[in-house]
Amino acid sequence: MNVTVNMAEEQLPHWSDILKRRIAKSKKDESSEEEKKADETELFTKYYTQWKGGRHKDESYKNIPRFYYRLPAEDEVLLQKLREESRAVFLQRKSRELLDNEELQNLWFLLDKHQVPPVNGEEAMINYEAYQQVGEKAGPKCKKFFTARVYAKLLHNDPYGRISIMQFFNYVMRKVWLHQTRIGLSLYDVAGQGYLRESDLENYILELIPTLPQLDGLEKSFYSFYVCTAVRKFFFFLDPLRTGKIKIQDILACSFLDDLLELRDEELSKESQESNWFSAPSALRVYGQYLNLDKDHNGMLSKEELSRYGTATLTSVFLDRVFQECLTYDGEMDYKTYLDFVLALENRKEPAALQYIFKLLDMENQGYLNVFTLNYFFRAIQEQMKLHGQEPVSFQDVKDEIFDMVKPKDPFKITLQDLVNSCQGDTVTSILIDLNGFWTYENREVLVANDNDSSNTADLDDT
């Protein structure tokens, strides 16, 4: 019995030990709120991760390569220099991968040597077997051009399943030119993000001028105005949201760069030059018009000066809207803003031009034109007709004709998309903003008849 009591006493902890444990426990409970929150967060993360089974179950995320690199800040000079140098080396490497003139000439000789008879008209042809043979001999740089996909693209209706050697060679030349141009444009991409700002494109065109024989006659004092004129066309049509930058891909995809580089042709016809916005005669014409309108010679245009633009038949209501919406300086327009104005009025069939004019017509920024808006602008046309001694046309008739032409989704509202889809946007806008444009529309049948008479007379004279 005594032995049992002694064993129980030995198993029970001494009161001093119990007291020590309680004191230690109370000290632990006195930990700060921050420590408790940290412990709680640690436990939550631990158990949540175990519950999801992500971290320990599947660690494939570690194999995903890094795809985002922060751009260096302005004060991180060393990182910026490193980025510039690495981009320059990358572009040089890409440039070396392109075919040079000697390699292109060698490719042409190989293609000509492997042509397969019979000749289709005057075009030499090649079949797929010979095409592959040329690809093996042409070298590693040409390998990407000699694929089944490229051959299928150029295959048309040849009864022997061949493709034109000339068409294939032109395809290769076009690809090489596109890559060369992209590399050339990328050298001016200061941000390295695949787009050009206005200043970047200005530098590119300025350095391009000496390489264009058709611009040899331009005086250096006119270079800045020429560059401004050329750059505005790119930004007016390729930057509709006015972000101040254009994707290099968009520049390559449009025809503007082709028009600009067409000026390398020393024998470019006079007609081609006059229709090319980037030619010297075109740039001088636009700038000359601006100077002629600037009667007070302060380098800016007032509303009164701009009213003499073209045939001087733009309505005062429309011109009011131009000066309300467009960027002006003390109520006057500078050359850059004038260029946007000219591009819009000279290209009224283009969506970007219609967007520009639609914004001016949409006085309340509603996103559509209603009968009230049409009446507001056409009333100015009626007033001009009275001033010229003409009988004003009924607005109801014009309104019905406009809605019949556009055929909007909503029979009471005309949106910008309705104008673009109808392919009648140029006619509608001309009716609303320009007396001469309205007169041309109103007398269209007479004008067509006169044109036909003139052509018939010319045919008789030829016979």
pLDDT in tens, 293-324: 999 999 999 999 999 999 999 999 999 999 99
Q: Calculate what percentage of the chain has a pLDDT beyond 70.
A: 87
Of 395, 397, 381, 289, the residue nearest 342 (C-alpha): 289
Query: How far is 373 from 436, CA to CA, in rounded Å?
Result: 20
pLDDT band at 47 (very low <50, low <70, confident <90, very high): confident
Instruction: Report the DSSP pairing between strands 125-126 and 163-164.
Output: antiparallel
Provide the β-strand partners of residue 123: 120
DSSP-derived secondary structure letter, 414: B
**pLDDT exceeds 90 at position 192:** no
Whether the full predicted model's pTM is greater than 0.85, yes or no, is no
Q: Please give the pLDDT value at position 264.
A: 93
Residue of 52 and 338 predicted with greater confidence: 338
pLDDT band at 46 (very low <50, low <70, confident <90, very high): confident
Give 303: exposed, middle or buried? Use CB within 10 Å, 0-12, 13-18, 19+. middle
Q: Please give the pLDDT value at position 319.
A: 97
Q: Which of 65-74, 80-89, 225-234, 436-445 is least confident?
A: 65-74
pLDDT band at 68 (very low <50, low <70, confident <90, very high): confident
**pLDDT exceeds 60 at position 134:** yes
Q: Please give the pLDDT value at position 51.
A: 72
Mean pLDDT of 12-31: 63
Q: Which of 23-32, 66-75, 312-321, 393-402 is least confident?
A: 23-32
Q: Please give the pLDDT value at position 1.
A: 47
Return phi, psi of residue 197, to 5°: -85, 175
| DSSP per-residue string spanning 285-298 | HHHHHHHHH-TT-S
Average pLDDT, the chain: 88
Three-state secondary-structure class, residue 76: coil
Q: Which of 48-57, 233-242, 381-390 is least confident?
A: 48-57
- Structural tokens at position 253: 């995809």
Q: Please give the pLDDT value at position 54.
A: 52
Query: How far is 69 from 400, CA to CA, in rounded Å?
Result: 58
**pLDDT exceeds 70 at position 141:** yes
Query: How far is 340 from 235, CA to CA, in rounded Å?
Result: 9
Q: Please give the pLDDT value at position 17.
A: 72
DSSP-derived secondary structure letter, 429: H
Query: How far is 257 from 238, CA to CA, in rounded Å?
Result: 12
Q: Please give the pLDDT value at position 8.
A: 46
Mean pLDDT of 31-35: 70
The domains found in the chain, sorted by start residue, are: 78-188 (1.10.238), 193-284 (1.10.238.220), 319-449 (1.10.238.10)
For residue range 164-185, what is the model confidence (pLDDT) as tens digits? 999 999 999 999 999 999 999 9
Three-state secondary-structure class, residue 237: helix
Q: How many angstroms from the chain centroid is the CA of residue 223? A: 24
Of 388, 384, 386, the residue nearest 315 (C-alpha): 384
Residue 310 φ/ψ region, left for φ over 0, alpha for ψ in the -120 to 50 degree band, beta for the rest: left
pLDDT band at 33 (very low <50, low <70, confident <90, very high): confident
**pLDDT exceeds 80 at position 15:** no
Mean pLDDT of 130-157: 94
